[in-house]
Structure 1
Amino acid sequence: MEEAGLTISGSKFACCVPSLDIVGHVVSFKGRTILKQNINKMTNWPTSLKKKEIRGFLGLCAYVRMFLDNFSQVASPLRMLTREDVDWDWDQKCEEYFHKHRQIVGEEITLKKLDYDKGTGKIKLAVDSSYIAVG
């Protein structure tokens, strides 16, 4: 390591631990989940009527988009509101999509590695696209 110019920080080094908090995620033998404080931040995000706050919410959700099914589609009405050329109109549809995001994140989804062993079921890859979403 010394030849490569690498150093190890004793205070940041962890070995043989059941899980690690890494850049907003918890990584363990079970898989990868969203850090609990980020889940709390998203599920407790107040309903907002300002573009800046919706941008912040969407930014936090985008950070964990790998956990969210159909993220682009669910986020589309909210993302449209943040555009400068669109008048602010927080309607029932926006309210529903906002609460849907919070609900999905609150489910505490775990991403696991694929298990290719016989008998684990079929792996299905489905891809779809539209003018507003790909997923």
Structure 2
Amino acid sequence: MSTFISGLREEIQANVCALCSTTLEEAFEKAERMEQKHKALKMVEKQHELKVKLSKCLWGEQQVYYLGHIISTSGIATDLGKIACMMELSTPKNPKELREFLGLTGYYKQFATDYEKIAAPLTPVLRKDKFIWSEKAIIAFEALKTAMTVDPVLALLDFTK
């Protein structure tokens, strides 16, 4: 998604159209009514050979759910439903269950401080023949669950810097 947005911004900035001076956001700010916004979008879409499915577009939303993340004006946050599922998980009984847990937490690792350090004691436990649930593994498992509950909001990328 960020690649699409940055590409769109580059296209618009490189080929300044009559309705927008530098960015798509400016085009929407200049448009006073939804009709004009729709025309502006169609113009940019046609000029830059983009495809936009309006039925999948949301207008004027304060936050959007996208691929397990909540994107809002304040940044990107984790989906609290997924975090609640992580907290309810019981201690893994085999390498497959541990792998599933690490996969779920790994998807949100950018939200947890020192994820790799916390998860490091769980990696040796993943071996098929040597699944031994030690005290270190229990502590790491619980610490990882706790680290996932802290809900930081990641700042949105500013492509102009």
TM over 0.5: yes
Higher relative helix content: 2
Aligned-residue RMSD, C-alpha: 2.1
Cα distance between partner residues in 2 of 1:52 and 1:62: 15
- Paired residues of 1:58 and 1:79 also in contact (CA < 8 A): no
1:105 aligns with 2:152: no
For 2:110, the equivalent position in structure 1 comes to 66
Is 1:23 the counterpart of 2:64? The answer is: no
Following superposition, which runs of at least 4 residues in structure 1 exceed 3 angstroms of deviation?
A: none
Aligned counterpart, 2:133 = 90
Partner residue in 2 for 1:6: 51
Q: Percent identity?
A: 23
- TM-score, structure 2 normalization: 0.63
Q: TM-score, normalised by structure 1?
A: 0.75
Q: Which runs of 5+ in 2 are unaligned?
A: 1-44
Larger radius of gyration: 2
- Tell me which of the two structures has the higher relative contact order, counting C-alpha pairs closer than 8 angstroms and 6 or more residues apart: 1
Q: What is the rounded CA distance, in whole Å, between the counterparts of 1:62 and 1:76 in structure 2?
A: 12
- Matches of 2:79 and 2:142 in 1, distance apart? 20
- Structure 1 residue runs without a partner (length 5+): 115-135
Could you tell me how far apart the structure 1 residues matched to 2:119 and 2:65 are? 26
Q: What SS class does the counterpart of residue 61 from structure 1 fall into?
A: helix
Give the whole-Å Cα distance in 2 for the aligned partners of 1:56 and 1:112.
Answer: 28
Q: What amino acid sits opposite 2:134 in the alignment?
A: D
Tell me the CA shift for residue 72 of structure 1: 1.1
Q: Once the two structures are superposed, what CA deviation does each residue of 1:64-115 show, in whole Å capped at 9, x if it has no partner? A: 110111111111111221134x51110111111101111111122222258x
